[in-house]
Every structure is written in C-alpha cells, then in structure tokens.
Structure 1
C-alpha cells in the first residue's frame, strides 16, 4: 500500500495533534523528572529534565517507607475492584431490562437515569455521611464503597450498547428455554465485553483518583486510598521534599497507566460501539 502524501492539511493536523499530545504528557514527564532529582536540583535555576545527580533510589525509598504505600495501593485495588463488581452486577441487568424488556414505566426509568446523571456526589455527601456515621461504618471499606455501588452512568452506557444488540439473538435464546437471567449471563455479557472494558476504565480511574469522598469518611492512614495516601505523605514530609512526593505520585499513577495500556484496544472499541450504536 502506498503511503499517503504529506499535504499541507495533513501536516497541520499532525502538528496540532502532536502539540495536544505534548501538552497532556508534559506534566507527567516533569513529575518523573522531579522524582529522579535530589532536593537541591529541583529548584535550581537551570531547566533540565535529566538530573546531574540521580536520586531515584533515595526518593522512591522515602515514598515507600514514610507511609504504608503497599497498604495504600492495596486499599485502592480493593475499593476500585469492589465498586466495579457491584456496579456491573447492578448496571448490566438494569440496562438490559430497560433496553430489551417491555414493561410499564420503562420510559420513566430512563428519564430518572438521565436525571441521575445530573446529581453529583457532592450534593448528597452530607446525608450519606450522617447515615454511615450513625451505623459506625466510617473508616471502613463499607464507607468507601457503598455510595458508589450503583452507577447511573454505567446503566446509561450499557443501555446505549444493549439497544443495538439484535432482538433475534435474544428471541432465539428464549426459544432455547433460557431465563432472562440466563440470557444476561450467557448472551448479553459475552457480547458486551467492549462496553464492559470501557466502563471499567472509567470507573477505576474515577475512584482510584477520588480524593473528595475518602477525605470525608477516612481518617485512619491504614484505610487511606492512593490520593488520600499522597495527602498523608505530604503532611508527613511537611510539604518540602518534592522529590519524594513526586516519587510517591509516580507509584500511585503507574497502575492506572499500565491498566489503560493493557485495555486500550477494547476501551477504544467500546467507546466507538456505544457511541455509534446508541
């Protein structure tokens, strides 16, 4: 196949995309550069990404020892994993029912889902906090997970995807004697992996990076999630050891980068399908 000629328009698009990519990646490059530098080079007058004296081991050793970083990362994995599982268990059957079953009030439910997208967690944080405090579940996984067990965004995303699935496929499953739950488990879910992967990336990134809710319900370092752990780390460092702070930030950010790169193809496929077939 012959390569396309480099026209002026193509060069302009490539330059614009390259500029946008640089703008997005520059903070991460600077974060990594600071994590490699000793303290005296971070605020030096010379602007250089590579350090004159490497402090990688020193900074990362501080990041791993000043706070229980392993426990903090484990908390992030547990909280994000529990939230994602609960959201999928509730969102997939709900979206399937609204997309493929005929019942009174289906349109009203879709309207309520759309309205639910407009309600941020900040608006209902106080009553949820009062309820969790009354039940004695603050500083626990219950407090971190339960407010997000149902995702209206997930229901909306899967609703768009399931509407495009052929009705003949579901009718054939019913003729084979499958129950509605069996159809969801054996027909819908295997065909919905692109949408599930896309939603999983959205969910994990949102809750891994969430500081607002953990800051409200967690005061124990052992229950801290990654962003809250960084806050505790900064407090322990009195805000002056930026090399170690950036090293801790690299450690916290790295799992998300690895997860996204591993699921990149299915993520793009899922976004494309839910966008084109809604």
Structure 2
C-alpha cells in the first residue's frame, strides 16, 4: 500500500512510511502470514487433538488385541476381563506353531515376490505415462487423463470376472502371472506421478532435451530421481494393497505353494479348525509386521510424496 501526497514516501525494510499532516507517521506493513493450524484457539486445538487421539486409538486397538492374543494360552483368550500381558506366557509355543504347522514362510515369500514384481512393472508403466500426460503436448491428452480418473473410480472387484476369463484364455491361472497381470497398470500411480511431475519446472526438461537426452532418458534419469518421494509413497500404497489383497488371489490360484499371505492365513485357519486362536494371531502378527516396519522407515518420504504434488 502507499499514500499519495506531495513529497516522496520513505521506504525501508519493505515497510512504507508516509508522513500524514496533523498526526504521527503511519507505518503500513503487510499482514502477517499465519501457518495452517496456528490460528486455532486453545479449545479448538484441544478438540482437534482429542479427535485425532481417539481416532488413532480406535485404529490401533485391533492390532494391540491381535498381538496380545498371540502371547496367551488358549485358556486366557476368552476370559471376560481383558489384560494385554498374559498371566502365562505362551508366545514361544504360538509363534513356533505359526511357523511350522502351516507353510507361513512360503506364503510370505510368495507375497514378497508378487508385490515386488507388481511394483516394478507398475513403475515401468506408470512413470512414462505420467510424464507424457504432464510434460508432452499431444491431441487427446486431457481425454486420456480423464480416463485415468475414471479408472480411479472403478472398484477392482467389478473387473474380476472379465479378468478371470482373460486369464483362463491365456492359460495363466494358478500361476504367479495370474497374481500380477491385473495390476500392471495403476491409475493411482499415473495420477500421483503426473501431479508430482507437473510440479517440476519445464526448464529442467528443456535443458535435458538440449543436452540430447531422449524422452525416455529424461523420465528415468531426471524425472523419476527427482520424484523419489512420490515413488516411495506409491510403493507403500502398492505393496500394502497387494500384500493384503484377498479377493483376487482367492479367484486366481488354488495351489497352496502359490498362495500369498492373505490367502495363506485362511488356509492356516482351516487347518486349525478355528479353535486355537493363539497361533492364528501369531501368524497374523508376523504378516503385518513387515508392513509396519516398512511404513515407519519410510514415513517421512511417504508424507512428502503425498503433499509435494499438491502444492503449486
């Protein structure tokens, strides 16, 4: 802001001082920028943190209960009163049975193989597609991006029957390929990478082209390394989704040696006849543990990958 009068205004340190006749000089400054959340009153802040705390507790209660049951003998599991620590520690017996009475290590190995192959193929497909939608000009680009958004809205279960028929015609049912091929293209991955690539200045792309790099070289040597937080965030989403997927493996495979953890835990429950929940909860804890460790280790990049592409 400025005040119009005869004589120059005095400017210092981004503040404009304009003498006004008959009153003291008035200093006009820009209003301070308040960060998100700092303007809340004390009661509002307390309510917000209370809601977050209650939500977090409700989410964690099933996992705490699962770990607690994995430490208890059968006689303590169905007691009316709940206590986290058992009176008689039965952890060694439960976890030993979880690892020996069913091929749990094989289930987890299958899960690692399937999730790793799906993630690698998805990045190989989604990164160039997202780069084309973000940085290249061609006819139908907006239409293609609209189709990607439509793909985000379609539940995967809707496509289960045509995918099953397609897998049968290709003869890949009851193989690792059957667990991988429906997830080769990820609309969410294309969307996330596109948003992140759009935040990268175009001058970087132009400079790379002047250096003689091809479009694919720009994707893999410049864009993907700069979008590492988005890659990590998408990797966590992809691995968690397919590690926990039960619907498609239940349709695609029958061989116990090919079952991923989510389907293998059902076979374990059937072997246990649903009566001894201690080993079953121990097996569930072992299946959840790698995901929890991976998320805690990559939490900072996960949050950055979700927020950077949304900030212009």
Report the TM-score range of the alignment, normalised by the length of the smaller protein: over 0.9
Q: Which has the larger radius of gyration?
A: 2
Counterpart of 1:245 in structure 2 is: 280
Of residues 236, 260, 264 in structure 2, which corresponds to 1:225? 260
- Matched residues in 1 for 2:188 and 2:159: separation? 17
Counterpart of 2:163 in structure 1 is: 128
**Structure 1 unmatched runs, 5+:** none
How many aligned residue pairs are there? 273
- Matched residues in 2 for 1:249 and 1:23: separation? 19
* Structure 1 residues 110-157: Cα deviation after superposition (integer angstroms, max 9, x where no partner): 111111112222111112112212332111110000110111111011
Of residues 18, 21, 25 in structure 1, which corresponds to 2:56? 21
Task: Judging by fraction of residues, say which structure has more helix.
Answer: 1
Q: Deviation at 1:221?
A: 1.0
CA contact (8 A) 2:198 2:309 kept: no
* Structure 1 residues 178-205: Cα deviation after superposition (integer angstroms, max 9, x where no partner): 1111111111011000111111111111
Counterpart of 1:99 in structure 2 is: 134
Of residues 242, 251, 259 in structure 2, which corresponds to 1:216? 251
**Structure 2 unmatched runs, 5+:** 1-37
Counterpart of 2:237 in structure 1 is: 202
Does residue 108 (structure 1) correspond to residue 143 (structure 2)? The answer is: yes
Counterpart of 2:66 in structure 1 is: 31
- Matched residues in 2 for 1:198 and 1:93: separation? 17
RMSD of aligned alpha carbons: 1.4
List aligned pairs for 1:60-209, cutoff 5 A. Answer: 60-209=95-244
CA contact (8 A) 2:72 2:86 kept: yes
- Matched residues in 1 for 2:52 and 2:263: separation? 34
